[in-house]
């Protein structure tokens, strides 16, 4: 059984998570996160730790930001849009048990970045094709998957490198893996 409590959006997400791993969940009941849900998440964070595992869409990102703001120090698990999509519907409930297990294993803690800076510069991201250009979005998607920090536009991705304390070594190892995969295609 996972020590942390997993925060999901709804009942179908709970079912999918529990088919993949033995874990307790808290359901937000959608994007309207109320004080009652925040109180439960706060208590779970204090006692067991929390993993935010929300849909890879606008509503899921909104819930993630609300909870992160009110309950600092949560872990974050991310699914790719492809892994969470079935018949045009995006959600944790659509992911395979393997994709769910992988995402939860890669969960990362968000840290307060008040005094931190990423060791990766904006110029490096530009040089590596992560900003601008025709393949930048796909490159960020794949790199976010490898690093376990999810997809974000250029600014969000750059911020996540800091939020999740991605070291230069870890970053460049993921770049190398991504480039190797491209060569193998």
- Give residue 106's pLDDT: 94
Residue 80 has pLDDT above 70, yes or no: yes
Asked if residue 138 lies in contact with residue 146, where contact means CB atoms within 8 angstroms, the answer is no
Long-range contacts of 135-144 (CB under 8 A, 24+ apart): 139/178, 141/80, 141/81, 142/178, 142/181, 143/174, 143/175, 143/178, 144/78
**Judging by DSSP bridges, how do beta strands 50-53 and 25-27 pair with one another?**
unpaired
Query: Average pLDDT for residues 134-154, to the nearest whole number?
Result: 93
> Model confidence at 1, in pLDDT bands (50, 70, 90)?
confident
Rounded distance between C-alpha atoms, residue 14 and residue 20, angstroms: 10
Rounded distance between C-alpha atoms, residue 165 and residue 109, angstroms: 9
* Architecture of the structural domain at 1-110: 3-Layer(aba) Sandwich (3.40)
**Domain residue spans of the chain:** 1-110, 113-185
Query: Average pLDDT for residues 97-108, to the nearest whole number?
Result: 96
- Give residue 118's pLDDT: 63
pLDDT of 12-24, one tens digit each?
A: 999 999 999 999 9
How far apart, in Å, are the Cα atoms of 14 and each of 20, 56, 76? 10, 16, 16
Helix locations, the chain, DSSP H: 11-20, 35-47, 58-70, 97-105, 122-127, 136-147, 154-163, 168-184
């Amino acid at each position: 059984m996972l020590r942390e409590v997993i925060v999901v959006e709804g009942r179908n997400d709970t079912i999918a998570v529990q088919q993949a791993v033995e874990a307790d969940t808290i359901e937000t009941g959608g994007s309207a996160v109320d004080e009652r849900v925040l109180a439960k998440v706060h208590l779970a964070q204090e006692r067991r730790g929390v993993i935010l595992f929300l849909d890879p869409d606008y509503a899921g990102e909104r819930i993630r930001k609300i909870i992160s703001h009110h309950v600092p120090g949560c872990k974050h698990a991310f699914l790719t849009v492809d892994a969470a999509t079935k018949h045009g519907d995006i959600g944790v409930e659509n992911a395979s048990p393997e994709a769910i297990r992988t995402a939860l294993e890669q969960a990362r803690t968000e840290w307060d970045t008040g005094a931190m800076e990423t060791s990766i510069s904006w110029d490096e991201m530009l040089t590596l094709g992560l900003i601008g250009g025709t393949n930048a979005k796909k490159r960020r998607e794949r790199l976010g998957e490898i690093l376990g920090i999810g997809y974000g536009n250029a600014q969000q991705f750059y911020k996540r490198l800091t939020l999740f304390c991605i070291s230069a070594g870890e970053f460049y190892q993921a770049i190398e893996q991504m480039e190797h995969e491209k060569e193998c295609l």
